[in-house]
Structure 1
Amino acid sequence: MNPPSTGQAPQTPRNRQRTRADRARQVAEVLRRQIASGSFTSGMLPDERTLIADFAVSRNTVREALGVLRGEGVVERRQGVGTVIVRRPFEHTLERLTGLAETLGTHGEVVNQVRVAGLVRPPGDVARKLDVPVGGRVVHIERLRLLDGVPLSLDLTYLAADIGEPLLTADLAGRDLFGLIEQSIGARLGSASVTMHAVGGDPHTCALLDIPAGSALFTVERLTRLPDGRPVDLEFLRIRGDRLAFRAELVRAGGGAR
């Protein structure tokens, strides 16, 4: 026997009532993106009344969204002033092969603390990716990178020996590796393969980056090649998730919609 009809539509994913937490998360995500792109040039968020009208949500939802951003250390509430942006993640494009200082130099001073620099016998996977013969060596460089004095990333780099050895006496603290490589070889680099994912940072890395253990990090593996396709630079970057946002313009490939 079928149950009596209530006259109401079943609660499907399309018509289920969104919770205030859902709406607050959406507001926080949009504001976070606006902050990263530099939309609020005054350094402050609009007042609550403006945000309520803009997002068509309640005051409590706006306050919950601002609480999310405060918890992330992105904004803080100052009595008599308003909601002030205290940490703005900077954008790094994925469309061009650029070094960190090339991309972020206009936002502040990029400084590199060189922790390791020398010839080493590479791990097997590194040797394979750089086409290093058995028994061969590579140059290993590890740098802690800071933007305006605040840690941004921990970069582990392996370079083909003939490319890397001339750089051991170069200005590793003040220059991007890409620029140093191109200056050394007298030619431009060619292309790179990039793999990126997010992880909770281990205690040692987080301590170096001055963030709590378990904080979100981007881990980036980038294999850079010369124009002839020869791999010369393998990097493993661990980047603070609260300080950098990646951006790209993508074009949908041809073919009909399904």
Structure 2
Amino acid sequence: MPAERIRDHAGQGATTVAARRRRLRADQARQLADLLRHQILAGAFPDGALPHEGTIGRDYGATRNTVRQALDLLRTEQLVERVPGLGTVVVCHKYRHGLDRLEGLAETLREQGRVTNEVRTVGPVPAPAPVAARLRVPEHSDVLYIERLRLLGGLPLSLDLTYVPMDIGADLIGCDLEHTDVFRLLETLTGQPLGSAEITLEAVNADAHSAAVLQAPRGTAVLMLERLTHLADGRPVDLEFIRFRGDRLTMSGLLHRAAAH
């Protein structure tokens, strides 16, 4: 093999090794960021200040560069910030939203603050075909449409779009939607408890309207919860499309593994 080709091959090998090292450092930083994020969300730093970079490195067996990269990732998420004289501090607290119980937002977050509602739209609309099918009402028949901005401690948390069959929705129009969860109102109006809900959770980009209402950058990722709620007798009564600000909420739940068949 000519000397030039040997040198070229050696150079490529060095480049590959360097790339692997960079990838390894990036992987380690991401893993450390995941662990620190969990600690932050679990309230492990009650005074709001993270340990010194050297302490983090010793506790997690990470190099200083890895620690700095991990903290950079958390800063990009706007979860922490570097403050002169204080070090790295938590600047955004996320609220825990459980996924293992069927509750309204005010019920779910009752221990974390007061949820208020800004009712932006309420009134009958012709049911789009997918909505009619899921609520089991005739296509294009009227359903009650409700759009609410949900706030916690005065800060925008979610934008809720709700469809309710009109035989129940007609009575909802006169109810206090600003201070009461729709779930509680549905149980009062129907005289029976809610039974179950089908949910889908995914990340979507905020459209211009959602971003403006939630006071979030346009195109930012938001958590979209689609939920179809049934009464105890199985009737579907509430179809919701809820866009949560992902930087202010974390979803949690307790799952059980079914017995093997």
Whole-Å Cα distance in 2 between the matches of residues 99 and 200 of structure 1? 24
Whole-Å Cα distance in 2 between the matches of residues 117 and 21 of structure 1? 48
Q: 2:210 aligns with which of 201, 205, 219?
A: 205
- For normalisation by structure 2, the TM-score amounts to 0.87
Shift of 1:223: 0.3
Asked if the contact 2:124/2:144 (under 8 Å) is kept, the reply is: yes
Is the partner of 1:44 in helix, strand or coil? Answer: coil
Whole-Å Cα distance in 1 between the matches of residues 244 and 115 of structure 2? 14
Is the partner of 1:105 in helix, strand or coil? Answer: coil
Q: 2:61 aligns with which of 56, 61, 68?
A: 56
Whole-Å Cα distance in 1 between the matches of residues 168 and 127 of structure 2? 15
Whole-Å Cα distance in 1 between the matches of residues 162 and 175 of structure 2? 15
Gaps of 5+ in 1: 1-10
Q: In the TM superposition, what whole-angstrom CA distance separates every residue of 1:50-101 from its partner, at most 9, and x where no partner exists?
A: 2111211011111111111112111111122222111122111111001111
Q: Which moved more, 1:172-181 or 1:38-47?
A: 38-47
What letter matches 2:218 in structure 1? Answer: A
Whole-Å Cα distance in 1 between the matches of residues 195 and 43 of structure 2? 31
2:231 corresponding residue in structure 1: 226
More helix by share: 2
Shift of 1:253: 2.2
- For normalisation by structure 1, the TM-score amounts to 0.88
Q: How many residues align structurally?
A: 243
Give the 5 Å matches for 1:62-211. Answer: 62-211=67-216
Asked if the contact 1:139/1:158 (under 8 Å) is kept, the reply is: yes
Q: Structure 1 residues 58 and 16 mapped into 2: Cα distance closer, same or farther (>3 Å)?
A: closer
Q: In the TM superposition, what whole-angstrom CA distance separates every residue of 1:85-135 from its partner, at most 9, and x where no partner exists?
A: 111221111110011111112212211111110111110110110011245
2:34 corresponding residue in structure 1: 29
What letter matches 2:86 in structure 1? Answer: V
Asked if the contact 2:128/2:140 (under 8 Å) is kept, the reply is: no
2:9 corresponding residue in structure 1: none
Shift of 1:142: 0.3
